[in-house]
Amino acid sequence: MECPHLSSNISGAFDSSRFPNGTPSSWCCNVCRSNKSPWICLTCLMVHCGRYVNGHAKKHFEENQVLCVSQRKGEKHEKEKIHHSVCMDCSSYSVFCYRCDEFVVNDTKLGQVQKLREHLQSLRNLGNTCFMNAILQSLSNIEQFSCYFKELPAVALRSGKTAGRRMYHTRSQGDNSVSLVEEFRKTLCSLWQGNQTAFSPDSLFYAIWKIMPSFRGYQQQDAHEFMRYLLDHLHRELQYSRNGASHPVSPQDGVRLSSTDGKCCTNGTASVVTSIFGGILQNEVNCLICGTESRKFDPFLDLSLDIPSQFRQKRNKDQEPVPTCTLRDCLHSFTDLEELDDTELYYCHKCKKRQKSTKKFWIQKLPKVLCLHLKRFHWTAFLRNKVDTYVEFPLKGLDMRGYLLEPEKSLPGSCLYDLVAVVVHHGSGVGSGHYTAYGSHEGHWYHFNDSTVTLTNEDTVRKAKAYILFYVERTGQVPSDTKKHV
């Protein structure tokens, strides 16, 4: 939420000599000396423990509330009242207001909250934000995508278009016009600078809080859902900045196919997001009674693949082991002819009623970057379970030719993809566990675990239980659509 108490509760200057020694996450409570969950008061810079330890941060606020009341009654110093209600988590750098009883997402006009974060902070986990870090690290390894954003501000200023400049200078206009594109750009620029100190994506995180309310808070979120929201909002902002529109896009705005240029786009206008990740599916439905065929084109930014049920079953020690599931098994399951069950009866316009039917997907247009999401989470009667099956996937030469609607029209070798990033979920449930990522950069594989980055090898990547796979088309050329946008 946007807190109205920041300006009256934040100290005017942050004197380094007033901070304790050591890293902020190791600071101790001034009362009980506990180093668990330290919070710093942004008024007096005193450190206290959180409510789930001994609650001294909240007691500090309550004690100052009583002091303010006595001042108003006895001496009538209304203008001097201080509440000490705003504090910052010394580990995640999130800000909380006790008067609002909510986490804070805004800043003062002077940007004092951000200045304190930069002073204290040393990509790090801001709570349960590993889902975000894994996606950011993966996207940063997609060169043609990340390079576009890294070069974007200079290009926007050279273009002479006021719409572009307006989009990148919105912070002074108020929090409602925060630019997700700008925060995303700054994050990508920081990830591969080679600094030994971890970069904290807190500005991007708080921009996401403003624009995507469902991701507010510090509970664990689904990395795939976050990726879809992020790409969608980046696409919308880029699209509307080029069109000169200053108003936000409604969440109800859908993605549709432009019949004029065959691109996957929103409202008929492509962006770098759809130019790189956008593909097109052909959905064929056949009525089993009269044989009427219905075809529909569906744009996609990623493909969500089921892990076939025959690979999910656990065998006893006396039984034969389950055969290894491969990525091809998942792709075949996605594109195979399927008879729709009774809950999905197709309305046949010739029969004039719902009839039993079959469905089949074909890929009409492959994207430059093929994002494959393995559906590891599924609902049972009362909870969401995880499919922990290992899926074997190639690091080089994934051939998508066999899934095309018209493979004969594709050039030889044009449907080959090489792996560039993998997101992995560790744990048993979508609301718990931990996300990490593997990424290929300049011929080497790295493992990204929040602020820890380690060199790894191809064998380790192959053994990962992938959740999201990012494949790049085997071509050294920059897409023509991307060149046009740059």
First to last CA, the chain: 36
The HSE-up count of residue 3 (CA atoms within 13 Å, CB side) is 25
Tell me, yes or no, if 130 is annotated catalytic: yes
Tell me, yes or no, if 434 is annotated catalytic: yes
Q: What is the pLDDT of residues 239-268, one digit of tens each?
A: 877 654 433 333 333 344 333 334 455 455
Q: Is the pLDDT at 388 greater than 50, yes or no?
A: yes
Token pair belonging to 376: 């590891």
Q: Phi then psi for 336, rounded to 5 degrees?
A: -65, 155
Q: Of residues 332, 426, 434, 441, which has the active-site annotation?
A: 434
C-alpha dihedral sign at 240, 244, 250, 256: negative
Q: Are 108 and 42 in contact (CB under 8 A)?
A: no
Q: Is the pLDDT at 85 greater than 80, yes or no?
A: yes
Per-residue model confidence (pLDDT) at position 198: 58
Q: Where are the beta strands (DSSP E) in 292-345?
A: 293-300, 303-306, 325-326, 338-339
Domains of the chain in sequence order: 1-121 (3.30.40.10)
| % of the chain at pLDDT higher than 90 | 29
Burial code of 56-93, b = ≥16 C-beta within 10 A, e = fewer? bbbebbeebbeebeeeeeeeeeeeeeebbbbbbbbbbb
Per-residue model confidence (pLDDT) at position 473: 94
Q: Of residues 49, 130, 264, 265, which has the active-site annotation?
A: 130
- Reduce the secondary structure of 189-237 to three states and give it as a string: HHHCCCCCCCCCCHHHHHHHHHHCHHHCCCCCCCHHHHHHHHHHHHHHH
Token pair belonging to 371: 């994002």
Q: Is the pLDDT at 67 greater than 60, yes or no?
A: no
Mean pLDDT over 89-112 rounds to 85
Which residues have C-beta within 8 Å of that of residue 232, sequence separation ≥ 6? 255, 301
Confidence band for 469, pLDDT divided at 50, 70 and 90: very high
Q: What is the pLDDT of residues 103-145, one digit of tens each?
A: 888 888 888 888 787 666 546 666 667 888 899 999 999 998 9
Per-residue model confidence (pLDDT) at position 343: 77
Mean pLDDT over 328-347 rounds to 87
Q: What is the pLDDT of residues 20-54, one digit of tens each?
A: 766 677 789 999 999 888 999 988 889 999 988 99
Rg (CA), the chain: 26
The pairing of strands 279-287 and 353-355 is unpaired
Q: Are 265 and 271 in contact (CB under 8 A)?
A: yes
Q: What is the pLDDT of residues 175-231, one digit of tens each?
A: 445 688 888 988 888 776 654 455 667 778 778 878 887 776 666 688 999 999 999
As a whole number of angstroms, the distance between CA 369 and CA 401 comes to 15
As a whole number of angstroms, the distance between CA 240 and CA 269 comes to 9
DSSP state of 24: G
Compute CA distances 158 → 145, 151, 155, 164, 212, whole Å: 20, 11, 5, 10, 30
Give the chain's count of helices (H) and strands (E): 13, 25
Q: Are 273 and 368 in contact (CB under 8 A)?
A: no
Q: Is the pLDDT at 368 greater than 90, yes or no?
A: yes
325 vs 482, higher pLDDT: 325
Confidence band for 452, pLDDT divided at 50, 70 and 90: confident
Q: Is the pLDDT at 295 greater than 50, yes or no?
A: yes
Find, among 86, 93, 150, the residue nearest to 116 by Cα: 93
